[in-house]
Amino acid sequence: MNYVVETRGLRVVRSGRVVLDGLDLSIGSGVTGLLGPSGCGKSTLLRSIVGVQRVAGGEVTVLGEPAGSRSLRRRIGYVTQAASVYDDLTVAENLRFFARVLGSPVGEVDAALESVDLTAYAEAVVGRLSGGQRSRASLAVALLGRPSLLVLDEPTVGLDPVLRRDLWRLFHGLADDGVTVLVSSHVMDEAERCDRLLLMRDGAVLAQGTPAEIRERAGTDDVESAFLSLVGASS
Ligand SMILES: Nc1ncnc2c1ncn2[C@@H]1O[C@H](COP(=O)(O)OP(=O)(O)OP(=O)(O)O)[C@@H](O)[C@H]1O
């Protein structure tokens, strides 16, 4: 199988502290959830994949190239936990601005708006949007340039259940169109929404596989119990 992302022995040290310690993982197409408690290293791993994290050792390969390669820049969409859109501009103005910065054809603005279902809010000022609409506006920016890999750091934090459900539908819609989606979350009840999971703890991968495989391996009825059982087995 051709993986979209592979890490071998990935080691990251931040402020003298080992955050990722020899991480081996493989991520294929579809929607992959990166789950684990706060502080376990999810954002650091995502940063390493996107190529903005200094790594102390090991290899990260994305779409066949070393992470951080110039050729990958346009092929990866990245949404951090901080909002990446300007509050005082409309949704469309934000998208036109970023399209110009990225050198994307202006036609992609409409396509991105449509993908995140914000066409009706194109002329709304971002500062007056709801949290979920603002998240979708950030996502639309990441979709400019039609990335092959979309990396989303806790995109559903603080959203109500309906908005979370809508966002997950959107992720699967993008995956159906061939985009590989990697989403981090510390909310275990989002696990069942993913095609595949990477469960992390303390800078290491506890388990990877489909939710069903992970439940079966741990002999539990849900992924949260599987996580706790795997933590117990490893400590
Ligand atoms: N800028 C930084 N400098 C030094 N250490 C950092 C920095 N950012 C994070 N860390 C440390 O790295 C570890 C992993 O942090 P990271 O943000 O990757 O975790 P996370 O799993 O994404 O957490 P959360 O779910 O809370 O976002 C933590 O112990 C954190 O204190």
The predicted structure's pLDDT at residue 235 = 63
Helix ranges (H only) for 6-65 are 42-50
The CA–CA distances, whole Å, from 202 to 51, 68, 167, 214 equal 21, 24, 28, 19
Give the HSE-up count for residue 226: Cα atoms under 13 Å, Cβ half-sphere.
Answer: 28
Q: Give 41 Cα–ligand 1 centroid separation in angstroms.
A: 6
Q: Give 195 Cα–ligand 1 centroid separation in angstroms.
A: 26
Does residue 38 have its Cβ closer than 6 Å to ligand 1?
Answer: yes
Q: Which atom of ligand 1 is nearest to the CA of 81?
A: 27
What ipTM was estimated for this complex?
A: 0.92
Q: Give 185 Cα–ligand 1 centroid separation in angstroms.
A: 14
Nearest CA, atom 25, ligand 1: 38
The predicted structure's pLDDT at residue 1 = 61
Positions of the chain with pLDDT lower than 50, given as ranges: none
How many H-runs (helices) and E-runs (strands) does the chain carry? 7, 10
The predicted structure's pLDDT at residue 227 = 87
Pocket test for ligand 1, best of 10, 19, 46, 54 (most atoms within 8 A of CB): 19
Does residue 48 have its Cβ closer than 6 Å to ligand 1?
Answer: no
Q: Which letter, b or e, does each residue of 187-206 get, where b requires 16 or more Cβ atoms within 10 Å of its Cβ?
A: ebebbebbbbbbbbbbbbbb
What are the pLDDT digits (tens) for 96-154? Answer: 999 998 888 888 899 999 888 899 999 999 999 988 888 889 999 999 988 999 999 99
Nearest CA, atom 6, ligand 1: 14
CA gap 94, 86 in Å, rounded: 7
The predicted structure's pLDDT at residue 126 = 95
The predicted structure's pLDDT at residue 84 = 82
Q: Which atom of ligand 1 is nearest to the CA of 203?
A: 14
